Amino acid sequence: MRKSQKTEQADRQQKISLEDQKQAGARSIAFGEGKMMSGTQFQALVLSRDNLNLAYKRVVKNKGAAGIDGMTVEELKPYLKIHREELLAKLVNGTYKPAPVKRVSIPKPNGGTRKLGIPTVIDRLVQQAVAQVLSPMYEQIFSDNSFGFRPRRSAHDAVQRVIELDNAGYRYVVDLDLKAYFDTVNHDMLMKFLGQRISDPWLLRLIRRFLTSGAMNGPLFERSNEGTPQGGPISPLLANIYLNEFDQELTRRGHKFVRYADDCNIFVKSPRAGQRVLASVTAFLERKLKLTINQEKTQVVSTSRMKFLGFTLGHTRKGAYPYPVRQSKQRIKQELKRLTKRNRGVAVEQVCTEIRRKMRGWLQYYGFGKLKSFVAELDKWLRSRMRQYIWKQWKKIKTRANELRGLGLTKSQAKAAANTRKGYWHTAHSQILEYTLTNEKLELRGLINLSKTLQQIQTKSA
């Protein structure tokens, strides 16, 4: 008898899970805590069939844009069927050379742009295979105060640690900002740190080639003498390996800190202590790690003025609590304003779908904090935006009158309302539209109820 689709999917997930467990167990035995491995063992682990199959599944699952060769993730499987042995041979004999990454820039939420380097799909596969082997090893030595790009750790976990430190009396923070961190990682320093744990020249040479593969910025080739370009599967791990040296130094000095990728906050009990710490850690970062502190953005502030992963802290008698910073609220309102711009010419149902998709993710993230009153206000404002949008879509007086009659007005009421000379936004707040386009009817057309959704999310995560 043929299994159901859900059963087959569960079997596949269980198989993948078992492969993960099998690999993790094999690595923990092979590695041992803090031990080095011979080149043969590393090569065997990276190029094992199970490891490569798992890497393939994860690359396909993560999707992503094509690199400079134009190959998509959908084209990876057909390519490997033909060229798998050739690729393995090049990896084994050391002739494999990664292609330059595709340079793209994406806008940052607070302005400016972030540079990404998109490797080819083949290079992503190899990077993923290496990362799967290295990650369990380095998880044994990474700091408990580091949260970014690590398994079973999230931004919410980092914010929760901040709350705990605040409640313990650390009410001031050294808010460090590293200038273009991912673009300025020193390759020689990184390879030195890797060499402290890895004795395998095959693996070290492969990683070095990824670091120095260069980038194609349009038709122009750019050499990569420093940095770990964001966009590849191995870059977050390498970035954490580099900054782990900073974590260990902070721990050695007895500092309380929370780090998420390159966003690091050190917690102290007074502004004076914060200034002393800032001076000493700046010297360490710039002299020992060859990194640059952004003096304009680095500061010592109270935890009620800090900005960390989109949150800041408020305080009650019961202790500290997180809530979104003002800029996070402004950005989501601007995005909703863009989606509900009345001259978009898009169907109401499609607009509601876009809003729902956007807001569920936003509420899932920021619902970790105190948000109820802001969301209630946003709900009210968003409904007015949608009433305005619908009113604009009706356009003609005759259409408006017919639609209003269909929503329960008498012929004379509908005619009078349809002939209004008031502006769109004013009309959206009128009693006529609030009576006809009720909250319930807007929800029936697909508009998300933000307050209800927030309550569901917070109840589920409680």
Each residue of 198-217: pLDDT tens digit? 989 999 999 999 999 999 99
Above 50 in pLDDT, residue 292?
Answer: yes
Above 80 in pLDDT, residue 82?
Answer: yes
> pLDDT confidence of 38, banded at 50, 70, 90?
very low
Question: In terms of Cα–Cα distance, which of 352, 378, 165, 131 is closest to 241?
Answer: 131
What pLDDT is stored for residue 15 in this prediction? Answer: 43
Residue 202 CA to residue 41 CA, distance in Å, equals 11
Q: How far is CA 83 from the centre of its chain?
A: 33
- CA–CA–CA angle 135, 362, 105 (5° rounding): 60
Residue 112 CA to residue 108 CA, distance in Å, equals 6
Residue 308 CA to residue 162 CA, distance in Å, equals 9
Mean pLDDT value of segment 12-29: 41
Above 70 in pLDDT, residue 317?
Answer: yes
Give the pLDDT confidence of 88-122 residue by residue, as tens digits: 999 999 999 999 999 998 887 766 778 889 999 99
Q: Which long-range contacts link 264-267 to residues 24+ away (Cβ below 8 Å)? A: 264/176, 264/178, 265/162, 265/173, 265/174, 265/175, 265/176, 265/306, 265/308, 266/173, 266/174, 266/176, 267/162, 267/165, 267/166, 267/170, 267/172, 267/173, 267/174, 267/303
Supply 402's token pair.
């017919």
pTM (predicted TM-score): 0.85
What pLDDT is stored for residue 17 in this prediction? Answer: 40
Above 60 in pLDDT, residue 34?
Answer: no
Residues β-bridged to residue 101: 215
Give the pLDDT confidence of 321-355 residue by residue, as tens digits: 999 999 999 999 999 999 999 988 899 999 999 99
